[in-house]
Homo-oligomer: A and B are copies of this chain.
Amino acid sequence: MIKYLELSKVTAMHADEIRSAVARVVDSGWYLQGEQTRLFEQEYADYIGTRYCVGCGNGLDALTLILRAYKEMGVMNDGDEVIVPANTYIASILSVTENGLKPVLVEPRLDTLQVDDRLIEQAITPRTKAVMIVHLYGRCAYTEYIYDLCRRRGLRLIEDNAQAHGCTFGSKRTGSLGDAAGHSFYPGKNLGALGDAGAVTTDDDELAKTVRTLGNYGSARKYVFCMKGRNSRIDEIQAAVLRIKMKYLDAENNIRRSIAERYIANVSNPLLLLPSVEYCAASVHHIFPVLCTRRDELQTYLYNNGVQTVIHYPIPPHRQLCYAGFAGLNLPITERIHHEELSIPLNQTLDDYEVDTIIQLLNDFK
């Protein structure tokens, strides 16, 4: 069985280094807000290309804290609107409603699966305060058009970079393209911790400070609480692990890219819609989505032939019970993607034989 993703194999690639970094933190006796966190924040900010990085508990918290900080700073108020892609992992949208803000869902393009930037302007109302783009599947959702639109209309541009560590746009990395970005280091991510972890990157000094304070009970100085905050910090252990894995991220993204290129070059089944080649230069292929109108059959067929796949995601956010208020929305492209998407294995531990097997099976599907 070719598993969709086996993190034991991912860890094994750097097992000695990781195990000894973890042991060093264990022995150090310092487990939160210490040297590993400071160094990780520095190194990750350098990597992404922002002035600040603030570690936090996970990716959902990162996005939630950005919006909460904007509220604390007076940039947004209860009931203000944030434009988000309709096709995303639900966490992007939860960060908006968690803050008493209103998500306004915008359809993606079928060729890119990313938010359709031509539809954003018409979604703006006087209450719109921000546009959140999601670099879904590891592909860049940013366009200069979106940037200009946000500047022109006075909107904050927030990036959800949970799936796209290392992805580039021109000479810059996603996570440095807007006003602030949320990152997830959920274990299965391209840059994954060994537990929950996340971070916010930004060039905005006040935002960085506010996020850090809000994630530390609202305290910037020990025992002094200037805001009502939460507890959302990155563990020293996770920071130490991420510092190691970060060194290999670009190389591992390149392996992902070469596998994606092989899929694209060799799968030629008219029943399947693969990502277009143009995306492969910059994408970091966190997920390799294949669209197929007979998706569930395809999944069963692959499973019966020893290949595990995942659906990202079977039910779109506006069809979830927790967003019953959105159920009336007409979002046909989003729904089509959720009906047709299948993620086939793609990660740095796949060997040639496995990739060939998957290509062969995809071509043989009738």
Where the two chains meet, the residues of A that have a C-beta atom closer than 8 Å to any C-beta of B are 6-12, 15, 18-19, 22-23, 25-32, 57-61, 64, 90-91, 94, 97-98, 186-187, 193-196, 217-218, 223-233, 235-238, 311, 313-315, 317, 320-323
Contacts and interface: CB of A to CB of B under 8 A. Distances in A.
B195 A31 contact: yes
Contacts of A231: 57-61, 91, 196
A218 B10 contact: no
A364 to B, nearest CB: 28
A209 to B, nearest CB: 15
Contacts of A194: 25-26, 31, 235-237
Contacts of A186: 32
Nearest to A236: B195
Contacts of A94: 217-218, 228-230
Nearest to A317: B225
22 contacts: A7-B29, A8-B30, A9-B29, A11-B27, A15-B26, A15-B27, A22-B26, A22-B237, A57-B57, A57-B58, A57-B196, A60-B231, A194-B235, A195-B236, A195-B238, A196-B233, A218-B322, A223-B311, A223-B313, A223-B315, A226-B322, A227-B321
A37 to B, nearest CB: 11
Which of A11, A60, A223: most chain B Cβ within 10 A? Answer: A223
Nearest to A64: B230
Contact of A8 (B22, B29, B91): B29
A360 to B, nearest CB: 27
A8 B27 contact: yes
Contacts of A31: 7, 187, 193-195
B225 A90 contact: yes
A310 B322 CA distance: 45
Contacts of A12: 27, 29
A273 to B, nearest CB: 21
Contacts of A27: 8, 11-12, 15, 19
A321 B28 contact: no
A98 B64 CA distance: 13
A83 to B, nearest CB: 19
A231 B65 CA distance: 12
B30 A7 contact: yes
Contacts of A59: 231
